[in-house]
A and B are shown apart, each in its own frame.
Chain A
């Protein structure tokens, strides 16, 4: 039995491990893939205090070494269920069952899909969810970005410097993203913005060749030939497996305050899967610190 099990080895989970170990609690971190999380996709972090530039990979390695060095255990198995028996919580993976007095959910989020036929098969064959990861494959090619938030605007701007032509397809008639980015995009000669439209079909042979775009106002459809489609329609928090123990908001985020408590005593939430106004590296690590501090307090008081 551990004092604290942390589910997820992204920045929030690994920071929680550091804080919990410094409070001399035994800590197990369970992670489905490998340590790092979404920040691995960021080639250059420029807004985290201390280092002017650091890659997400290097950042993850440093935090991992720090947490390991303090004595946190890491096991790479996916937590699929938590059984709450009051004082003791059991975290279930496909291979094992682990017990702890307190659990911190730092599961993060995953890309929201459009849900189109062929979408999964075409990932890596023309369909992408990460412009900074895959933009280089589309030098002097034609691409489209679908979405209307800041990520979509930033993706379109980034791609406009690489691709020959960038379509930006947005389901509304204006952008909710950053005004500066929207204004910069409108000045780009190789960017064409298509408002009030949805991507409704993927046309492909081995690779994606074209998309079907439907006008929301008159229902008309047209095909746009292209080489790549970048999907930036938001993210989905990974809370589904734990919904019986955690109050979720309409978007599926854990409806917890800054204290990172959930409705289940001894169960805490930290990072991108928590409802909050700003999802950044620095707010994820802040959550990790807060959740661990509250978990330590819970363990000390309840046991």
Chain B
């Protein structure tokens, strides 16, 4: 599995309507810590975890960022059954990213 690009158009189907947890990475191309985190997210996704990882470019999707009160990136938000259950702002190591979803 790889990280899926998500926009407002497919946010509901890809993120909210899901049986498995979704880890949403709010990021931007100009954000260094976001770029530093990407390889870790790719690696986690490649390991076929029991959850889905999606990427949201906040420059393109400012409405989504606003709707979910994202005012600082990188911001990871975990959704379960369409509801936010966990969140982290800032760069964290790979194990801590996995722990956000796996608890």
Evaluate contact between A123 and B33: CB separation under 8 angstroms.
no
When distances are taken between beta carbons in the complex, the residues of chain B under 8 Å from A33 are 91-93
Instruction: Tell me if A134 is interfacial: C-beta within 8 Å of chain B.
Output: yes
Evaluate contact between B91 and A124: CB separation under 8 angstroms.
no
Complex: how many Å from CA A289 to CA B40? Answer: 29
Instruction: Tell me if B31 is interfacial: C-beta within 8 Å of chain A.
Output: yes
Instruction: Tell me if B70 is interfacial: C-beta within 8 Å of chain A.
Output: yes
| Least CB distance, A11 to chain B, in whole angstroms | 13
Evaluate contact between A43 and B71: CB separation under 8 angstroms.
no
Instruction: Tell me if B49 is interfacial: C-beta within 8 Å of chain A.
Output: no
Evaluate contact between A123 and B89: CB separation under 8 angstroms.
yes
Instruction: Tell me if A293 is interfacial: C-beta within 8 Å of chain B.
Output: no
Bitwise interface map of A from 30 to 55 toward B, beta carbon under 8 Å scored 1, else 0 = 00111110011111000000000001
Most chain B beta-carbon contacts within 10 A, residue among A40, A55, A130? A40
Complex: how many Å from CA A265 to CA B72? Answer: 42
Evaluate contact between A76 and B32: CB separation under 8 angstroms.
no
When distances are taken between beta carbons in the complex, the residues of chain B under 8 Å from A123 are 72, 89-90
| Least CB distance, B98 to chain A, in whole angstroms | 13
A contacts with B, residue count (CB < 8 A) = 29
When distances are taken between beta carbons in the complex, the residues of chain B under 8 Å from A128 are 71-72
Instruction: Tell me if B8 is interfacial: C-beta within 8 Å of chain A.
Output: no
Q: Name B21-55 residues within 8 Å CB distance of A.
A: 28, 30-33, 35-37, 40
Evaluate contact between A40 and B36: CB separation under 8 angstroms.
yes
| Least CB distance, A251 to chain B, in whole angstroms | 23
Instruction: Tell me if A137 is interfacial: C-beta within 8 Å of chain B.
Output: yes
Q: Which residue of B lies closest to A125 (CB)?
A: B69
Instruction: Tell me if B3 is interfacial: C-beta within 8 Å of chain A.
Output: no
When distances are taken between beta carbons in the complex, the residues of chain B under 8 Å from A184 are none
Bitwise interface map of B from 50 to 87 toward A, beta carbon under 8 Å scored 1, else 0 = 00000000010000010001111101000000000001
| Least CB distance, A228 to chain B, in whole angstroms | 7
Complex: how many Å from CA A123 to CA B71? Answer: 8
Evaluate contact between A42 and B71: CB separation under 8 angstroms.
no
Of A34, A125, A130, A133, which is within 8 A of B36 by CB? A34
Closest 7 pairs (CB-CB, A-B): A124-B89, A124-B72, A40-B32, A57-B32, A57-B35, A137-B71, A56-B32
Residues of chain A touching chain B, judged by Cβ–Cβ distance below 8 Å, are 32-36, 39-43, 55-57, 60, 76, 123-126, 128, 130, 133-134, 136-138, 206-207, 228
A sample of 8 cross-chain residue pairs with beta-carbon separation below 8 angstroms, ordered by A number, consists of: A57-B35, A123-B90, A124-B72, A125-B69, A125-B72, A133-B31, A133-B73, A228-B71
Residues of chain B touching chain A, judged by Cβ–Cβ distance below 8 Å, are 28, 30-33, 35-37, 40, 59, 65, 69-73, 75, 87, 89-94
Q: Given A33-B93, A57-B32, A125-B71, 6 other A-B contacts at CB below 8 A? A: A40-B32, A124-B89, A125-B69, A126-B71, A136-B59, A137-B71
